[in-house]
Chains A and B, each alone.
Chain A
Amino acid sequence: MSMRVYIPRDAAAVAVGADEIAVAFEAVAAKRGIALEIVRTGSRGMCWLEPMVEVATTNGRVAFGPATVEDAASLFDAMMADGPHPLRLGIADELPWLKRQTRLTFKNCGVIDPRSIDDYKAHDGYKGLLRALSLGTDGILDDVTKSGLRGRGGAGFPTGIKWKTVAQTSADQKYIVCNADEGDSGTFADRMIMEGDPFVVIEGMTIAGVAVGATRGYIYIRSEYPHAIVAMNAAIKAARRAGFLGKSVGGSAHAFDMEVRVGAGAYVCGEETSLLESLEGRRGLVRAKPPLPAHQGLFGKPTVINNVLSFAAIPFILDGGAKAYSEFGVGRSRGTMPLQIAGNVKHGGLFEVAFGLTLGEIVDDIAGGTFTGRPVRAVQVGGPLGAYFPRALFDTPFDYEAFAARDGLIGHAGIVVFDDSVDMSKQARFAMEFCAIESCGKCTPCRIGSTRGVETIDKIRKGEQVAANIAVVEDLCNTMKFGSLCALGGFTPYPVMSALKHFPEDFGAPSRLQAAE
C-alpha cells in the first residue's frame, strides 16, 4: 500500500503548523507500515482552511482542512479508506472557492511541487518560453501587447509598451528586474506564487530577457520572505541545471541568467527606482523620472522592471494564450487579477478572477462578510496607500479606471476589510504614520508632510479646532499628492482623504471620540 499526500509548504500554512503535520503524517505512516509520499506544494489560497492537506485518489485530489497535529492519525486513516472525516472538504478542484476562479497565473500554485522542474514541465511549464524562442522579439512583444497585460505592481502601465521601449533602446547590456519587494499590507500574491510556483516567475523573466535582449536578471525579494527566497534560489538552480537558464536558454542562442537579491526591509524599495538604487548597492532613494528605467535603469542600462505577477502572467500568454487572456476582463483592464482578500473577513486568501467583479461581490460574496459577523464598514483596496471605500461604493467594478474614477486604486489588488468597530480617524492617522516611517526622506512633501500629518490628525482626534485642522490636513494632502516625487508621498493622501470624505463622522464630534477611547 502506498499513499501520496500533498501538504503545503507555503509560509501561511507553515505558520499554522503544516510542517508539524507533515512530521506527524510520516510518524503515522511508519506506525501503520504504509509507504507515504509527501509532496510539499504551494498553497491553494484558502487561508482559512490552512493547513489544508490533500490526498491523491482515483477521482482526483481530496482536500482536508484545517488540519492539526492531533488530527493526523484520524486523517491518515480517513485518507487510506477514502472515508468520511469531519475535516473532509471534498475534491479540491471542485471546491467552490477554486471553482469560481479563473486561474491563469496561479493555475499550478498549490498543485505542483515547487522544487521540481519536471513537475512544472508536466503542467505546461516552459511551453511559453519554447514558443517565445521560436517567435523572436517582435512576436513576443506582439503577444504581450495583444494580451492587454498591464503592470500588476499597481501602476497598471501596459507591459507590452514597456518591453517594446527596452527592446528598441540599444545598449551593450540590458537587465530584467523582478520587483518582489511586496511590502503593501494585505498583499501576499507575490509571496504565494514564489513559494508555490517559482518557475513561472523565472520563465516569465526569461521570456522578457529573450524579448528585449537582456542577458541578466535580478529578482529583488524582501528579507521578510525567507521561504520565498529559499524557493526562488532552489528553482533558479534547478532551471540552470535543466538548461533553461544560462548561456543557451532552452538550447537556443539566447543567454539569460538571473539571481536573487534580498532587500533590507525598506518599504520604499518597492518603488522601482529606489529598488534599482538598492540593487546597485546604494541608499534606497527614489530617482527622479525621467529618465525612465526602460532607458536608463539598473547601472544606467535599459531595464525591464516588472512586478512578480506581471512576469508570472507571461508564460500563459506566450503559450498561445494572448487572445484568451485579453478576452477576460472589462474596459482597459484585461485578463485576470489575483485578488488578495484579508483583514476582517470570513474567507481570506487568494482569489484569481477576471477584472469586472464589483467590490460588493468580492467582499460579501467571495469573502463571506466579516469574521466577526459585524457589518462591513470600510474596505481598503490597494495596500496602505489605497483609498477606503464605504458600502455606498460597493458597486464599483474591479477595474483600474473605475477605481481611479472614484479616487481609489486597485494597486496590487490587496483588499482589507474592516467591520463597523473601526475608527476611521485612527486609520487616517495610520496612513500618515506609515508614510512618516517609510518615507525615504528625499523629497520635501513626503518627508515633512507625513510627520506633520500625524500631528494634525492627532489634534483632530483630540477635538482641537477640528474644522481648521481638517482644512490643514486637506491642504497638506494636496501638497503631498501634487508635489511628491514618487507614489509613496503621492498616494498617502488617498486613505486619508477617503476616510475624511466617506466617514466624516469619525473626525467630527469630540464627545463621541472621547467616549470611544
Chain B
Amino acid sequence: MTKLIIDGKEIEVPAEYTLIQACEAAGAEIPRFCYHERLSIAGNCRMCLVEVKGSPKPIASCAWGVRDCRPGPNGEPPEINTRTPMVKKAREGVMEFLLINHPLDCPICDQGGECDLQDQAMGYGVDTSRFAENKRAVEDKYIGALVKTSMNRCIQCTRCVRFTTEVCGVPEMGATGRGEDMEITTYLESALTSELQGNLVDICPVGALTSKPYAFAARPWELGKTQSIDVMDGVGSAIRVDTRGREVMRILPRINEAVNEEWISDKTRHIVDGLRTQRLDRPYIRENGKLRAASWPEAFAAINAKAGRLDGKRIGAIAGDLASVEDMYALKELLAKFGSHNLAVEGGAAFDPALGRASYIFNPTIAGIDQADAFLIIGSNPRKEAAVLNARIRKRWRTGQMKVGVIGEKAELTYGYEYLGAGTDTLSDLVAGKQSFADVLKNAKHPIVLVGAAATSRHDGAAVLAQAAKLAAGIGAIKDGWNGFGVLQTAASRVGALDIGFVPGGKGLTAEQMGTFGTIDVLFSLGADDSKIADGTFVVYIGTHGDKGAHRADVILPGAAYTEKSGIYVNTEGRVQMANRAGFPPGDAREDWAIVRALSDALGKTLPFDSLSALRQQLFKAYPHLMRLDQIEAGGGIDALAAKGGKVETAPFKSPVSDYYLTNPIARASAVMAECSRLASGKIMTAAE
C-alpha cells in the first residue's frame, strides 16, 4: 500500500494502481473516454488529466502509476489534485477539441442519455464553439450485423480496437490514416467474427458504435430496467432487461466478476426480437392432424382424455434447455403423482446425480480460471458453447501463465493451444501418461480439465466423462482447496435439473428410450425442442415458440419465456441464480409452473402449492442449497465418477452445437440471429435477396 494525498485527503492505495484508480478510491470523479479497467491503457483521450505536485504539466491519470509518483522533498506522500484551476482548464481544453469535430446530433443519436461525452460536456463543455470551420467528416463503416457505426461521432479513443484485439481475440479492428485522417475500421470493412462484438456498443463512450438491431427503438429514460440472468448458455451471465411497456427492448450486461465480468455474448444480447416473433400465445389442440387454437379448459380436457387414467410407466417428461428449476420441479411433482420416474433433461444423459454434484458442475468455477496454469479441453468448443467463459480462458492465457491443450475438434478458440488429438484414444493416452501434455497437467498447481458437450452428448458420454474424471484424479487436479474437474454445461436448465433429480429414477426411462416407439403413451415436453419423439406418442408441449417441439405437439400449452417469469437457474458452476420477470407473457400464455399446477387440477392430481412462493418453500425444503442465491454448493469429490469406468467408442468428438446463433427456440425465432448465422457461415447474399 502506498500513501497519497488526493485533493488534500490522505489515502492508502495499492502500489499497482494507476492514478485514476487511486483518485476514484479517494472519491474523486475523473472523466475518461479511452481508459477502461479491463483493457490495456492507451492514454490517448487526455481527458483524465490531474495535477501531480512537482510536475509542471498536468498528467494523464490513467497512464500514470501510483508507484511512478515521487515523494516530496521531505518525504511527504505524493500530492495529487483533481479540482484545481489547472486541471479544469486542461480538461476544458481537451473537451473543446473533442467537440470541434463531434456532430451535435444528440437528439437523433442512440447513445443520447447514456453518453459519456454528453455527460462530460455538461461538466467541461461550453455552450458555443469558438471553431466555426467545417467539421471533420468520416464515412460510416460496415462492421457486421450487430454494430451500427456513425463514424463522425468517433473520438478515436480506440477502446473498440483494444476490446476486439484483447478480449475477443479477433484483431480485426484497427485504425487507418494518420493525424486528423485517422479512422477506425475493420479490415476491408468486413463483418467482425467475434461472438462478443455486441459489447462494443457498451465499450464505445460515444455514439459511434451503437446497436444495429436496437437502432432508434427507444430512449434509455423510457425503459423499465430489470436485473436478471441470461439462459442462452450454461454460463448464467448477469443481465439487465430493458422493457418499454410489456415489450423487451434490449438486453445489457450487468457486472458480475465471478461469472461474466461485464461482457455478454451476442446471443445473450441480441435474441430480443426472438422474444416477440413466433410466440405461442394461446393453447392449441391437434385435430385431424392439424393444430387448432383452443381454450385452456379444452386443452386440459384433451390431455385428461389421453393421460388421465394412464399408468405412470406410460407417461414421461423431458425438459428443454431453457426450463427453470421451478418449472421442472412442478412437472416432476406432477409425474410423481402418476408414479412415473420417466424424467429427463435434454443433453443430460451422461450425468448421474447419484455420483455427487461434482460430477456434473464446473468445479474450478469460472473465476477460478484466473488461477489456472494448465487447461485441458476435452470435446468442447468453449467459444461456441460459452463465449463469455471462453473470454475468461483467453484472458488467463494472455498472461502467459497457462498452457492449453485440446482433445476434440480443431477450432479457432482465440488463444493458442496444443492440439493433442481428436477423440477418446488421445484421452486414453493422456490417462496412461503417454502424452507430453500429461506432464504439463501433472506439474501444474491449478490444472483444469474441462469436459464439454462434444464428449458428454455421445452415446458413451457417461464413460467418457468417467474417463476424464479418472484423468483429473490421476494428475492431481483434485486436492485441498482446488477441484480442477469441470463440466461445461451448454444449457441453462441442466444443472438445475440434475440438482432436483429431473433424471430417470429407478427403472425410469431415459430421454432416448422415451423417444423410442411404443415405450410411452404421453410425453410432457417442457420446451424440449431437440428431442426425437416416436410416432404415436401423445405430446403435450409446454413452451414459448412455434418451433420444432410445437410442430410435433398434440396439445400446446403456451408458456412464459425467461424474461417473463421469475425462476431459478443453476449455471454450469453450480451457482444458483434467479432470473426476474421483466414483462408478461403474450396473450393467453402463462408461467410454466402455473400451467402445470392448473393441469394437475384438471387431471385430478392437484399439486400442493397455489403460488410460486409456496412452490419454492417446498423446493427449498427438499433442496436447501437452491435457497442460497449466488452461491455454489460445493460438489465434493469425483472419485465415484472416476471409478465408474465404462466402454468408450473411438469416434472423434464432434460438437453438438453446429450453429452457435441458433441453439434454442428463441434464437431460432430471431431475425438478428439468423443474419449473424448467415454471416458466420460465410454465405454471401446476392442483390436479389
Which of A436, A440, A444 lies in contact with B46, CB distance below 8 A? A444
Q: A505 within 8 Å of B by Cβ? A: no
Q: Which of A257-309 contact B (CB under 8 A)?
A: 266, 268, 283, 288-290
A259 to B98, CA, bound (A): 42
1/0 contact trace for B139-161 toward A, CB 8 Å?
Answer: 00000000000000001101000
Q: Which of B90-118 contact A (CB under 8 A)?
A: 90, 93-94, 96-98, 100-101
Which of B44, B63, B90, B179 lies in contact with A479, CB distance below 8 A? B90
Q: Which of B51-97 contact A (CB under 8 A)?
A: 57-58, 60, 62-65, 68, 86, 89-90, 93-94, 96-97
A404 to B634, CA, bound (A): 66
From A41-49, A104-112, A230-238, A450-458, give the one contacting chain B: A450-458
Q: A329 within 8 Å of B by Cβ? A: no
Which of A289, A439, A483 lies in contact with B58, CB distance below 8 A? A483
B44: A residues at CB distance < 8 A: 288, 442-444, 485
A25 to B179, CA, bound (A): 49
Interchain CB contact under 8 A, B93 and A483: yes
A446: B residues at CB distance < 8 A: 179
Interchain CB contact under 8 A, A482 and B57: yes
Interchain CB contact under 8 A, A448 and B97: yes
Q: B130 within 8 Å of A by Cβ? A: yes
B186: min CB distance to chain A, Å:
15
A445 to B91, CA, bound (A): 11
B96: A residues at CB distance < 8 A: 475, 479
Q: Which of B123-145 contact A (CB under 8 A)?
A: 130-131, 133, 136
A490 to B55, CA, bound (A): 14
Q: A443-B45, A452-B100, A452-B133 are in contact. Are A288 and B63 (CB under 8 A)?
A: yes
Q: Name the CB-closest residue of A to B41.
A: A288
A239 to B60, CA, bound (A): 44
Q: A283-B175, A288-B41, A288-B42 are in contact. Are A444 and B97 (CB under 8 A)?
A: yes
Q: B43 within 8 Å of A by Cβ? A: yes
Interchain CB contact under 8 A, A451 and B65: no
Interchain CB contact under 8 A, B94 and A445: yes
1/0 contact trace for B561-601 toward A, CB 8 Å?
Answer: 00000000000000000000000000000000000000000
B59: min CB distance to chain A, Å:
10
Q: A114 within 8 Å of B by Cβ? A: no
Q: A396 within 8 Å of B by Cβ? A: no
A437 to B179, CA, bound (A): 7
Q: B180 within 8 Å of A by Cβ? A: yes
Interchain CB contact under 8 A, A289 and B63: yes
Q: Name the CB-closest residue of B to A489.
A: B46
Interchain CB contact under 8 A, A451 and B60: no
B179: A residues at CB distance < 8 A: 436-441, 446-447, 450-451
A437: B residues at CB distance < 8 A: 179
Interchain CB contact under 8 A, B94 and A479: yes
Interchain CB contact under 8 A, A483 and B100: no
Which of B46, B86, B97, B133 lies in contact with A455, CB distance below 8 A? B133
Q: A289-B63, A448-B101, A479-B94 are in contact. Are A439 and B180 (CB under 8 A)?
A: yes
Which of B62, B174, B180 lies in contact with A436, CB distance below 8 A? B180
Interchain CB contact under 8 A, B89 and A452: no
Q: B682 within 8 Å of A by Cβ? A: no
Q: A472 within 8 Å of B by Cβ? A: yes
B48: min CB distance to chain A, Å:
11
Interchain CB contact under 8 A, B93 and A475: yes
B180: A residues at CB distance < 8 A: 436, 439, 441, 447-448, 450-451
Interchain CB contact under 8 A, B100 and A478: no
A451: B residues at CB distance < 8 A: 136, 179-180
Interchain CB contact under 8 A, A288 and B94: no
Interchain CB contact under 8 A, A448 and B46: no
A81: min CB distance to chain B, Å:
58
Q: Name the CB-closest residue of B to A458.
A: B133
A288: B residues at CB distance < 8 A: 41-44, 60, 62-63
Q: B177 within 8 Å of A by Cβ? A: yes
Q: A449 within 8 Å of B by Cβ? A: yes
A481: B residues at CB distance < 8 A: 57
Q: Name the CB-closest residue of A to B65.
A: A290
Q: A439-B178, A485-B60 are in contact. Are A290 and B100 (CB under 8 A)?
A: no
A283: B residues at CB distance < 8 A: 174-175
Q: B336 within 8 Å of A by Cβ? A: no
A440: B residues at CB distance < 8 A: 178-179, 182
B181: A residues at CB distance < 8 A: 441
A465: min CB distance to chain B, Å:
10
Q: B49 within 8 Å of A by Cβ? A: yes
A438 to B90, CA, bound (A): 23
A472 to B93, CA, bound (A): 11
B136: A residues at CB distance < 8 A: 451
Q: Name the CB-closest residue of A to B182.
A: A441
Interchain CB contact under 8 A, B42 and A479: no
B480: min CB distance to chain A, Å:
34
Q: Which of A290, A446, A490 counts the most B-chain CB atoms under 10 A from its CB?
A: A290
Interchain CB contact under 8 A, B98 and A483: no
1/0 contact trace for A463-500 toward B, CB 8 Å?
Answer: 00000000010011011011111000010000000000
B60: A residues at CB distance < 8 A: 288, 485
Interchain CB contact under 8 A, B68 and A290: yes
A439 to B58, CA, bound (A): 21
A82 to B282, CA, bound (A): 115
B176: min CB distance to chain A, Å:
9
A264 to B89, CA, bound (A): 37
A446 to B181, CA, bound (A): 12
Q: Name the CB-closest residue of A to B131.
A: A452
A262: min CB distance to chain B, Å:
19
A446 to B177, CA, bound (A): 15
A478 to B85, CA, bound (A): 13
Interchain CB contact under 8 A, A441 and B46: no
A289 to B68, CA, bound (A): 10
B165: min CB distance to chain A, Å:
11
A443 to B97, CA, bound (A): 11
Q: Which of B434-461 contact A (CB under 8 A)?
A: none
Q: Which of A268, A288, A448 counts the most B-chain CB atoms under 10 A from its CB?
A: A448
1/0 contact trace for B161-192 toward A, CB 8 Å?
Answer: 00000000000001101111110000000000
1/0 contact trace for B467-501 toward A, CB 8 Å?
Answer: 00000000000000000000000000000000000
Q: Name the CB-closest residue of A to B92.
A: A479
A445 to B179, CA, bound (A): 11
B89: min CB distance to chain A, Å:
7
Interchain CB contact under 8 A, B156 and A447: yes
B178: A residues at CB distance < 8 A: 266, 268, 438-441
Interchain CB contact under 8 A, B182 and A449: no
Which of B47, B62, B93, B133 lies in contact with A478, CB distance below 8 A? B93
A441: B residues at CB distance < 8 A: 156, 175, 177-182
A55: min CB distance to chain B, Å:
49
B101: A residues at CB distance < 8 A: 448
Q: Name the CB-closest residue of A to B181.
A: A441
A395: min CB distance to chain B, Å:
25
A483: B residues at CB distance < 8 A: 46, 49, 58, 90, 93-94
Which of B47, B86, B97, B133 lies in contact with A449, CB distance below 8 A? B97
A442: B residues at CB distance < 8 A: 42, 44, 156, 158, 182
A442 to B44, CA, bound (A): 6
A490 to B181, CA, bound (A): 20
A475 to B90, CA, bound (A): 10
A-B contact pairs, 5 of them (CB 8 A): A283-B174, A290-B65, A436-B180, A441-B175, A450-B180
User: Lowest 8 A-B CB distances belong to which pairs?
Assistant: A288-B43, A479-B93, A441-B182, A288-B63, A439-B179, A448-B97, A483-B46, A443-B44
**Which residues from chain B sit less than 8 Å from chain A, CB to CB?**
41-47, 49, 57-58, 60, 62-65, 68, 86, 89-90, 93-94, 96-98, 100-101, 130-131, 133, 136, 155-156, 158, 174-175, 177-182
- 9 additional A-B pairs beyond A290-B65, A441-B180, A443-B44, beta carbons within 8 Å, are A442-B158, A442-B182, A444-B156, A445-B46, A448-B97, A448-B180, A452-B131, A475-B93, A482-B90
